[in-house]
Amino acid sequence: MISVSDITYLIGGRPLYENASMFIRPKDRIGLIGLNGKGKTTLLRLINGDIQVTSGSISKSNDCTIGFLNQD
């Protein structure tokens, strides 16, 4: 389970995400699609705990796994 509750994330003082929320249930599989530079990788990094939200909260169950390929 992943719960994203009312998060805000700022880059250079400007919001990339503002008051965003979502809930992903156990056994759900999702894909993120969108134009380059719109925050898909940033969202995964926030959920994974690699970077911290400006406000709000993100929680995930201990058995949750996230798979993605770094762009670096």
pTM of the model: 0.86
Mention every residue, 6+ apart, whose C-beta is less than 8 A from residue 54: 7, 8, 9, 10
**69 pLDDT higher than 80:** no
**11 pLDDT higher than 70:** yes
Query: pLDDT tens digits, residue range 20-33?
Result: 999 999 888 888 89
Phi/psi region, residue 62 (left: phi>0; alpha: psi -120 to 50; beta: rest), is alpha
